[in-house]
Structure 1
Amino acid sequence: MDTVQRADPQLYDFKPYRARPKIVWPGGKQIAVWVAPNLEYYELDPPANPNRKSWTRPHPDVVGFSHRDHSNRVSHWRMAEVMTKYGFPGSVSLSVALCQHHPEVVADANRRGWEFFSHGIYNTRYTYGMDEAQERAIIEDSIRTVREATGQTIRGWLAPALTHTTRTLDLLAEYGLHYTCDLYHDDQPQPVKVKSGRLISIPYSLEVNDHYGFFVYNMSPRDYADALIRQYQRLASEGEQSGTVMCIPLHAYLIGQPHRIGPFAEVLKHIAADGRAWIARAGEIADHYYDHHYQEAVHGA
């Protein structure tokens, strides 16, 4: 038993799915749906991290860099126009260096009323091996840069390339951030254990992330669209008992390609017309959970 306890990182309590207090979304909706476009900047020849290579190919990787730069030159606009057409605001996982490299992209998202949270400075610089001062500097840089570029104060975090230290979640809470997208353990928001302050996890799916769909599972555009609809249908049905969350994580250079955008648009049209979805930003989901369900989840009262 002692060995089991030491192996558990104690990031959150274990609470079985069917034995929790009921979550009720605004308007009695059964599922909160949020879309998370990753607006990123990848460096052509990033500094080496001893724990992980930035590119699978040798540096400088012109192929990897230019493929991803399609997001900022072309496919962001294609993706964003479809989202706006069907009433889906973005909650942006932002490489904050994009504010300097391509401010036009950030300004467009801001004009559309999208929310920003941090995805680190560059998606080619990892948290692995950083000391506390370095990690604090990334958080402080993120807060400052997004505020200067958009007028918004970031409230959430998705670690750059999903890389962490053992102190990351505690630091996020210390700096007053409200939610993390870095825990993939649930289909509902959950309290996260931190040393001070408070923090919740908001579901951010790897399973229906377009990166996994197209790069890992080798799905066709139609297969990916079908997976999104099946994800939505199941979670919306379960949400009749207690409200669920569906995140659609996107990378414009993938979903915004001409041969993929059509099936994706059909997914958004389907969800918007279904009637069971609260189409929201991540911060709105966090606010509702804090206001109506957080105390009961933490204290059972």
Structure 2
Amino acid sequence: MSEAVARPAGDPGLYDFSPYRNRPRIVWPGGKTVAVWVAPNLEYYEIDPPANPFRKSWTKPHPDVVGYGHRDHSNRVSHWRMAEAMSRHGFPGSVSLSIALCQHHPEVVADANERGWEFFSHGIYNTRYSYGMDEAQERRIIEDSIRTVRDATDQTIRGWLAPALTHTPRTLDLIAEYGLDYTCDLYHDDQVQPVKTRAGRLASIPYSLEVNDHYGFFVYNMSPREYADALIRQYERLAVEGEKSGTVMCIPLHAYLIGQPHRIAAFEGVLEHIAADGRAWISRAGDIVDAWRVQQTGDAA
């Protein structure tokens, strides 16, 4: 379709249609076929958050002591268990960060930063949603995210994953305007893809709902072994397909789930498998976007 032809009703115009088999070839460093990145969600959930008229923060009445305590296991215990397993096998994290964690539990943020992990914004709290926000509110959250992470880590965030995956129609335009250059909020592809915005430049890096541990354990009711097997099958298929053009595999994690004592061993087996295989470029989200962008435009961040 030419640019002069109107888009069909319902097409948001975020990206062009690009058939999987007819794209420019992507080659990852060292001839690797699949870029693998791990996305730990380091989050903070309020025990009694302000009500959003479009969505409840907790299924139970507030304050939800059980929900809060279960998720607080991440910051007290299971972050450390998950992070140490990742470090043992050479996997850096690209952190989906609830920005308020920098104030509530700076020790967790400092640990991730010392490990060389990258940070991108996951909103302020994972119990406060974008639904119903006006533009001024959304701008303040983006500005707060940039400023707070820079103060806490000396890093400037480049990416965005909307809090609890909630958006407004302007979110992608705004993050590009503020200089962020990748989003994790589009689940439409297995390769990095360009996103259309009013200003700036934006790429969509493959995140995942299908192999997200939240979906694995809460939606699909997988056992630890079943979840580990799903990750390995995801990796194996993408590594083969990546021989024609480099693919991307994201492993999104929540420490209070994957870092439980009865789950961590199966997950560590996945890390061992990928690290030993030889076809994976084990990297961070920003580095993957940079390598893709150089091949697409000759220009990096």
The TM-score with structure 1 as length reference comes to 0.97
Distance (Å, rounded) in 2 between the aligned partners of 1:3 and 1:190: 22
Partner of 2:180: 177
Partner of 2:86: 83
Partner of 1:195: 198
1:6 matches 2:6: no
Partner of 2:222: 219
Counterpart pick for 2:150 among 126, 147, 150: 147
Partner of 1:58: 61
Is this contact kept in 2: 1:40–1:95, CA < 8 A? yes
What is the CA-CA distance between 1:289 and the residue it aligns to?
1.2
Counterpart pick for 1:271 among 259, 269, 274: 274
Distance (Å, rounded) in 2 between the aligned partners of 1:243 and 1:157: 23
Is this contact kept in 1: 2:195–2:202, CA < 8 A? yes
| SS at 1:293 equivalent | helix
Partner of 1:72: 75
| SS at 2:174 equivalent | helix
Partner of 2:285: 282
| SS at 2:286 equivalent | helix
Partner of 2:163: 160
| SS at 1:259 equivalent | coil
What is the CA-CA distance between 1:292 and the residue it aligns to?
1.4
Superposed, which structure 2 residues align to 1:127-146 within 5 Å? 127-146=130-149
* 5+ long unaligned stretches in structure 1: 297-301
Counterpart pick for 1:254 among 254, 257, 261: 257
Structure number with higher helix proportion: 1
Partner of 2:114: 111
Distance (Å, rounded) in 1 between the aligned partners of 2:161 and 2:269: 27
Distance (Å, rounded) in 2 between the aligned partners of 1:244 and 1:279: 12
Is this contact kept in 1: 2:274–2:280, CA < 8 A? yes
Partner of 1:49: 52
C-alpha offsets along residues 38-69 of structure 1, whole Å, 9 cap, x if unaligned? 00000000000000000111110000000000
* 5+ long unaligned stretches in structure 2: none
Is this contact kept in 1: 2:7–2:13, CA < 8 A? no
| SS at 1:5 equivalent | coil
Partner of 2:247: 244
Counterpart pick for 2:126 among 117, 123, 126: 123
What is the CA-CA distance between 1:6 and the residue it aligns to?
2.4
Partner of 1:299: none
Distance (Å, rounded) in 2 between the aligned partners of 1:283 and 1:52: 31
Percent of paired sites with the same residue: 81
C-alpha offsets along residues 49-104 of structure 1, whole Å, 9 cap, x if unaligned? 00000011111000000000000000000000000000000000000000000000
Counterpart pick for 2:34 among 31, 34, 48: 31
Point out 4+ residue stretches in structure 1 off by more than 4 angstroms: 1-4
What is the CA-CA distance between 1:295 and the residue it aligns to?
6.7
Distance (Å, rounded) in 1 between the aligned partners of 2:7 and 2:288: 33
Q: CA RMSD in A?
A: 1.3
Distance (Å, rounded) in 2 between the aligned partners of 1:284 and 1:293: 14
| SS at 1:48 equivalent | coil
Superposed, which structure 2 residues align to 1:86-105 within 5 Å? 86-105=89-108
What is the CA-CA distance between 1:5 and the residue it aligns to?
1.3
Counterpart pick for 1:234 among 232, 237, 244: 237
What is the CA-CA distance between 1:294 and the residue it aligns to?
4.3
Letter in 2 for 1:170: D
What is the CA-CA distance between 1:178 and the residue it aligns to?
0.9
What is the CA-CA distance between 1:4 and the residue it aligns to?
6.4
Distance (Å, rounded) in 2 between the aligned partners of 1:173 and 1:78: 35
Distance (Å, rounded) in 1 between the aligned partners of 2:196 and 2:298: 13
Distance (Å, rounded) in 1 between the aligned partners of 2:18 and 2:6: 21
The TM-score with structure 2 as length reference comes to 0.97
Is this contact kept in 2: 1:72–1:105, CA < 8 A? yes
What is the CA-CA distance between 1:290 and the residue it aligns to?
1.4
Is this contact kept in 1: 2:149–2:157, CA < 8 A? yes
Letter in 1 for 2:118: E
Letter in 2 for 1:291: V
Letter in 1 for 2:170: R
Distance (Å, rounded) in 2 between the aligned partners of 1:154 and 1:4: 33
Letter in 2 for 1:154: I
| SS at 1:7 equivalent | coil
